[in-house]
Amino acid sequence: MISNSKSNTKLKAVDFFCGGGGMSFGMLQAGIKVLAGIDNEENCRKTYESNIGEGKFIKADVFELTEKDLQKKLGLQKNDNELILIGCSPCQFWSIINTDKKKSEKSKNLLIEFERFVKYFYPGYVVVENVPGVLRKKKESGLEDFITWLKDNNYQVHFDIHNVNDYGVPQNRKRFTLVANRITDKKVFPEPLKNKKPTVKDFIGCHNGFNDIPAGHKDESNFLHTTSNLTDINLKRIRKVAKDGGNRMGFANDKELQLKCFIGKDNSFKDTFGRLWWDKPSPTITTKFNSISNGRFAHPENDRGLSIREGAVLQSFPKDYKFHGESVGAIARLIGNAVPPEYSKRIGKAIIENHRDAISY
């Protein structure tokens, strides 16, 4: 178990749709006690419990979980100024990524279900993190009505689209984030970085403890410096991609290697088979970051995709965070779906600072 930061705050959080614990872990690191993480996926339990310590993992479908059930399970009080309710619901339905909307249709109402718990408990703070699409479709997603209710019930509400790279994460990842506070008259959110923002080189590479390895390398240790195998033709392709930021144009004129779907479409999906740049943040770490055919996920120099641990640290998970899953793909999904812990930690610290200001008056 990774220890959390010491703090004299009495703030405590319940993390809805907790996944593998990215948001919970960041809150712990800030110094906030995490009472529980709630998720409908049993395969998140072992990873969550291995890292969050005292925080309980509650397997529950939020559509079936009642407010009174949760109150009884955790001993929660209504109108608790020190309670933070966090909702980072699965977001496939509102994502711009081309996904099967029928499969994810149920997820479109998860924010509305989360709102039910906020109205019942009336906590001191509310945090919501999601894809930018929930704001673009704020009427349909239920966000517009939720923000209106928060404002009508004495919350100061910050909400916007933020790039996590501005908050210490070495990744371009734009997310909708809302922080509501009824303790003070301030809108709460951390300040963005004013100086150098983190890049890939700050987190991976031999100088950061990541040895050069080939495609298909299996790391049997908890470090999980494990990479997906590549077919012979994909190995030939990646070898022709320029180091440090090259893309599939490196093999576009090779009749053997060019993909048929890209013939005559040189300007489409250029990131496919692309390499990361050392001196830039990575692209968004998705649930398929371990596959070079799913985006710019090739190592800047090695002829392979990112390892599981490399993807995790680019999401700002510490090197000793313990991941558990039935396969490399299952662990990659946990990592790609997570809220970057560094982003969460900074939000948590901003909430703590606001709460201390309120107490000092």
pLDDT at 20: 96
pLDDT above 50 (res 6): no
Residue 249 inside a domain? The answer is no
Confidence tier at 335 by pLDDT (50, 70, 90): very high
**Mean pLDDT across the stretch 151-162?**
98
Least confident range of 43-52, 134-143, 240-249? 134-143
Q: What pLDDT is stored for residue 192 in this prediction?
A: 97
| Per-residue pLDDT reduced to its tens digit, 256-313 | 897 877 766 666 667 889 999 999 999 999 999 999 999 999 999 999 999 999 999 9
Give pLDDT, residue 1: 42
* CA 167 vs CA 3, 64, 175, 193: distances in Å: 22, 35, 12, 6
Task: Render pLDDT for 68-88 as a digit per residue (tens, 0 to 9).
Answer: 999 999 999 999 999 999 999
Report yes or no on whether pTM surpasses 0.85: yes
- Mean of the pLDDT values across residues 166-191? 97
- Catalytic site includes residue 91: yes
Catalytic residue among 18, 44, 88, 91: 91
Residue 31: give its domain's CATH number: 3.40.50.150
CA distances from 201 to 244, 248, 250, 270, 282 (A): 11, 22, 23, 22, 10
User: What confidence tier does 107 reach under pLDDT thresholds 50, 70, 90?
Assistant: low
Question: Using one digit for the tens of pLDDT, what is the confidence trace for 24-35?
Answer: 999 999 999 999
pLDDT band at 324 (very low <50, low <70, confident <90, very high): very high
What mean pLDDT is reported for the chain? 91
- Percentage of residues in the chain with pLDDT exceeding 70? 90
Give a yes or no: residue 226 inside a domain: no
Residue 95 has pLDDT above 50, yes or no: no
Q: How many folded domains does the chain comprise?
A: 1
Q: What is the pLDDT of residue 5?
A: 47
pLDDT surpassing 90 at residue 185: yes
Which comes out higher in pLDDT, residue 360 or 210? 210
Asked whether residue 261 is assigned to any structural domain, the reply reads: no
Per-residue pLDDT, 307 = 98
Range in 128-142, 150-164, 249-263, 329-343 with the lowest mean pLDDT? 249-263
Whether 225 is in a domain gets the answer: no
SS3 content of the chain, % helix, strand, coil (to 5): 35, 15, 50
The CA R_g of the chain, rounded to the nearest whole Å, is: 21
Q: In which domain, by residue range, is 21 found?
A: 12-194+340-360
- Structure confidence at residue 254 (pLDDT): 85
- Under a CB-based contact definition with an 8 Å cutoff, are residues 47 and 322 in contact? yes
Q: What would the mean pLDDT of 106-124 be, rounded to a whole number?
A: 89
265 belongs to a structural domain: no
**Sorting pLDDT into bands at 50, 70 and 90, what band is 3?**
very low
Long-range Cβ pairs for the range 221-227 (8 Å, 24+): 222/320, 222/322, 223/309, 223/319, 224/307, 224/308, 224/309, 224/312, 224/323, 224/331, 225/307, 225/308, 225/309, 225/310, 226/307, 226/308, 226/309, 226/328, 227/290, 227/304, 227/305, 227/306, 227/307, 227/308
Tell me if 222 is assigned to some domain: no
In this predicted structure, what is the pLDDT of residue 339?
A: 97
Average pLDDT over residues 129-143: 87
Q: Which parts of 46-188 are beta strand (E)? A: 56-59, 83-87, 125-130, 156-163, 174-181
Inside any domain, residue 58: yes
101 pLDDT tier (thresholds 50, 70, 90): very low
pLDDT at 241: 95
256 within domain boundaries: no
